[in-house]
Amino acid sequence: MTAQSEAAPSPGPAPTARGALRLALVVGALGVVFGDIGTSPIYALQTLFNPADPHPVPIDDNNVYGLISLIFWSMTLIVTVFYVALAMRADNDGEGGIMALITLIRRHGAHRGRRTTLVLAALGIFGAALFLGDSMITPAISVLSAVEGLKVIDPRLDVWVVPITAVIIVLLFGFQRKGTAAIGRLFGPVMIIWFLTLAALGVGGIGHHPEILRALSPAYAAQFLAGHFHIAFFALAAVVLTFTGAEALYADMGHFGRRSITAGWILLVFPSLLLNYMGQGAMILESPANVSGPFFLLAPEWGRAPLTVLATAATVIASQAVITGAYSVASQASKLGYLPRLRISHTSEHEIGQIYVPWINWMLLVSVLTLVFAFRSSASLAYAYGMAVIGTITIVTLLYCYVARTLWRAPRWLVLTGGGLLLAFNLLFLAANTTKLVHGAWLPLVIGITAFTVMVTWQRGREIVTAERLRREGPLDGFLARLQQGEPKVAQVPGTAVFLNRGALTAPLAMRANMERNHVRHATIVVMSVETEPVPRVPDAERVVVRSLGAADEGIVHITARYGYMEPQDVPAALRLAKAQAPGRGLKLRDTTYFLSTIQLRGGPDPTMAAWRKRLFIATAHITADAADHFKLPRDHTVIMGSQIEV
């Protein structure tokens, strides 16, 4: 399925309005999606020629031509060809990113072998975990690299770099609750200025040494790799920095849609990046001394202070790209059962993917500040950054090839040839980054392994708890049949009892407990299921569906309440609509009690998981969003009935 959620599926707006909406989405995408990859020129070439590198690249004309050519063709193959032209067509109802690929594989790949599906899903979860690591490293390295421009202006300002960076990051994460639509409107014009500045600086640099344009030929990249492999191989670890943010383009697809992101990349972002890298290369050809800060040295001396301010603003926006991507990954992971139910705020009526996840936001803030104060410079974080990026890209490439072959029936020769070349290219970058493990590349692996362990542990624990819960609940039809026969023996009390449940097939635990232990039932019993539809709002006329369970005079009904993704899931309001729709059902709203089934988890003796994984699963359960708040239940009319399950 490749339909994009570019706008709400309500009656379409007029052509002028559609054009304005499309332009707004492109501007918003520039302000949210491209910040990460768009700020790579600040530090990428400087890292490549860093004399403190354990494997430095000698500065000579051939190496400069070769590296600029390699940067151009790497961005072309990985970002333009793979992500923009290919991967972004593999979406899950408009959502992109590695979790969308996992969903497609789990949904359509089970019939091709459970073991293969599980292995690929696990690999994808590890890739998602690496992306979460990228989401922590990107704000730290991006903002640090821009604020370090102060040292170019005046070396004495060095002591202020870390404190200023920390303040900027706190403000950025504090602003997230406004939503990506508001952020995009604010940041979009800034990023347009940024990319135009990149292009102008690059053209100025090229004017000093126009021979750099020869680097557009792939022959220079091939000659650099083949003729200087002992240098080029280690340099690949830093070349990765030029396409950081490629996965964010894909993960953020649900926020702005494929066409908006594609237009922004082709028309503005890619040309601006290419011109700037070539301008920096020309500056280094003109004087090897320029390698100390080729980006800031492209500007005249009078323009370096304003450029530092603009670069700082751009790197704040770079952080936004991976932050919103992390929201998407966490949201999809929660829906797939790899994370608990999280509180998610939808912030747009036009894009279902524009969300804010508070728990992820504050977890990222603490992690980013920890990295800033621990590493204290962008150079120290550079190698950690590359491993997170290329690890995720390699896994996405593998999963995409599987989807293309098994779901889309792409010819085997095409998948093996095209996918094999892309994988080989990515594996070469990955191998180069493994040489930097002791220099910082271990960090994203540790973060990734930790996040992966949490997610697979939650998924396994959830399977155990769900199986036990279903066993205890039992079929709803069977329970109602027993109730008709007088088992359990209950006394009827006036009023309405509402039991929230996932469907109409099983008996809610709270209902069982109320009848089997309290031996009471209310005159009217409502089993209510809440569903979220892929539209912003559901009309009140289509909100609820009411049907009887058993004989009409037994007073037991099932209500399905449907909500759009922008709407609060207000159960009492749905009950009022149900009463108006079915006045003969005996719903007494003034005397309504809401029952929630909660599970208290504890470690048990059964060998379902290792003891440490049981403790991790129970600890993770504490971040689950509160159900009463989520469903707008009045606290003084809500009864929480607990049940204990051993893991």
- Between 57 and 426, the higher pLDDT residue: 426
Lowest mean pLDDT among 49-58, 469-478, 586-595: 49-58
181 pLDDT above the threshold of 60: no
What share of the chain has pLDDT > 70, as a percent?
89
| Residue 8 confidence (pLDDT) | 38
Is residue 626 classed exposed, middle or buried when 0-12, 13-18 and 19+ CB atoms within 10 A define those classes? exposed
CB-based contact 585:557 (threshold 8 Å): yes
349 pLDDT above the threshold of 60: no
Which pLDDT band holds residue 536 (cuts at 50, 70, 90)? low
| Residue 77 confidence (pLDDT) | 93
7 pLDDT above the threshold of 70: no
- What average pLDDT score do residues 399-423 get? 89
Tens-place pLDDT, residues 189-241: 888 999 999 999 999 999 988 999 999 999 999 999 988 888 889 889 889 88
Tens-place pLDDT, residues 116-147: 777 877 888 888 888 788 788 888 887 887 78
What is the C-alpha separation between 148 and 167, in angstroms, rounded?
Answer: 14
Tens-place pLDDT, residues 460-512: 988 888 888 778 878 888 888 888 777 778 888 888 889 988 777 888 888 88
Tens-place pLDDT, residues 255-272: 677 888 888 899 999 999
What is the C-alpha separation between 241 and 44, in angstroms, rounded?
Answer: 6
| Residue 180 confidence (pLDDT) | 56
Which pLDDT band holds residue 38 (cuts at 50, 70, 90)? confident
CB-based contact 48:239 (threshold 8 Å): yes
- Between 351 and 108, the higher pLDDT residue: 108
- The DSSP code for 350 is S
What is the C-alpha separation between 139 and 325, in angstroms, rounded?
Answer: 13
Copy the structure tokens of residue 498.
Answer: 């509402």
3 pLDDT above the threshold of 50: no
| Residue 2 confidence (pLDDT) | 36
Strand order in the sheet with 544-548: 544-548, 556-564, 520-533, 491-500, 592-602, 638-646
Copy the structure tokens of residue 590.
Answer: 């003034």
What share of the chain has pLDDT > 90, as a percent?
16
| Residue 179 confidence (pLDDT) | 61
| Residue 376 confidence (pLDDT) | 79
Mean pLDDT estimate for the chain: 82
| Residue 348 confidence (pLDDT) | 56
- What average pLDDT score do residues 74-85 get? 93
CA atoms within 13 A on the CB side of 284: 29
| Residue 6 confidence (pLDDT) | 37
Q: Which residues sit opposite 548 in a β-bridge?
A: 557
Lowest mean pLDDT among 199-208, 326-335, 438-447: 326-335
4 pLDDT above the threshold of 50: no
- What average pLDDT score do residues 42-68 get? 83
Q: Is the pTM of the predicted complex or chain greater than 0.85?
A: no
435 pLDDT above the threshold of 60: yes
| Residue 409 confidence (pLDDT) | 87
| Residue 274 confidence (pLDDT) | 95
Which pLDDT band holds residue 344 (cuts at 50, 70, 90)? confident
Which pLDDT band holds residue 288 (cuts at 50, 70, 90)? confident
- Polymer length in residues for the chain: 647
Q: What are phi and psi of 254, to 5 degrees?
A: -65, -20
Per-residue b or e along 285-311, where b marks 16 or more CB atoms closer than 10 Å to that residue's CB: beeeebbebbbbbbbeeeebbebbebb
